[in-house]
A and B are shown apart, each in its own frame.
Chain A
Amino acid sequence: KQEVTQIPAALSVPEGENLVLNCSFTDSAIYNLQWFRQDPGKGLTSLLLIQSSQREQTSGRLNASLDKSSGRSTLYIAASQPGDSATYLCATKNNFNKFYFGSGTKLNVKP
């Protein structure tokens, strides 16, 4: 069974700092990997989706990379803002539409 691990569990940074969130997974046979943002009472919002054949995806200040062979993905956030404060989840999807989620990184960006 796929195991997804996220490090660190929590992170507190001053506004403006660049930061990296890490995600590792045990089974490289994934269909895609997705990064989500979770805000209290608002469910999950998809940030970036990387297909298994891709190496990275970018959206605005966010960049996600995928190294399937080593079972790793990173989410890079540039010039962090207080509005980025949330829990960030990574999830792998297999060929049967099943998602496996990490336990998340809780990010706090201080003004």
Chain B
Amino acid sequence: SAVISQKPSRDICQRGTSLTIQCQVDSQVTMMFWYRQQPGQSLTLIATANQGSEATYESGFVIDKFPISRPNLTFSTLTVSNMSPEDSSIYLCSANLDTQYFGPGTRLTVL
């Protein structure tokens, strides 16, 4: 099994600012994933982050808005840039080992 932690667990931010979310896995994993869950909706994949290469973004998500770092096999960050109220969501990171594991999520509110 694996344990995934995220920081911060929640934040309230002002419009136009940026927030970096950290994700730590207690095992080495090749691929890490970032999801967004908007209020009342299901999870949508933002991007896949492989260690040592550029992240792969899903349709509707761009690197300038959601830059991702993947410096090693246990850690990744997602930055939400130039935030607007529409970015208010829960952001979850995920990794696949024997099964898919998810972090507890970061609840972001943008005022």
Listed in ascending order, the chain A residues whose CB lies under 8 Å from chain B are 4, 34, 36, 41-46, 49, 89, 91, 93, 97-99, 101-104
Number of A-B pairs, beta carbon distance below 8 Å: 45
Residues of A within 8 Å of B96, CB to CB, are 97
From A41, A99, A104, B100 is in contact (CB under 8 Å) with A99
Complex interface: chain B residues within 8 A of A98 (CB) = 45, 48
Stretch at the interface among B11-19, B69-77, B101-109: B101-109
Secondary structure of the B side of the interface? Answer: strand
Task: Establish whether residues B104 and A101, one from each chain, have CB atoms under 8 Å apart when the complex forms.
Answer: no
Q: Which residues of B contact A (CB under 8 A)?
A: 4, 9, 31, 33, 41-45, 48, 92, 94, 96, 99-105, 107
Looking across the interface, which residue of chain B has its beta carbon closest to that of A34? B100
Interface secondary structure of A, over-half rule: strand
Residue in A46, A49, A91 with the greatest tally of chain B CB atoms within 10 Å:
A46
Are A44 and B9 touching (Cβ within 8 A)?
A: no
Question: When A43-B105, A49-B99 are in contact, do A103 and B42 touch as well, CB less than 8 Å?
Answer: yes
The 5 closest A-B pairs by CB, nearest first: A44-B102, A43-B104, A101-B42, A103-B42, A101-B43
Q: Does A34 lie within 8 Å of B99, measured CB to CB?
A: yes
Contact indicator B102/A43 (Cβ below 8 Å):
yes
Contact A42 B104, CB 8 Å, known A89-B42, A97-B31, A102-B42: yes
Asked if B42 and A43 sit within 8 Å, CB to CB, the answer is no
User: Which of B33, B45, B105 is within 8 Å of A41, CB to CB?
Assistant: B105
- The residues of B that contact A41 with a CB separation of less than 8 Å are 9, 104-105, 107
How long is the Cα–Cα vector from A49 to B45 in the complex, in angstroms? 19
**Contact between chains at B99 and A44 (CB < 8 Å):** no
Task: Tell me the bound Cα distance from A43 to B4 in angstroms.
Answer: 10
The residue on B at minimum CB distance from A106 is: B40
15 pairs of residues in contact across A and B, judged by CB atoms under 8 Å:
A36-B102, A41-B9, A41-B105, A42-B104, A43-B4, A43-B102, A43-B105, A44-B92, A46-B100, A93-B100, A97-B33, A99-B43, A101-B43, A103-B42, A104-B42
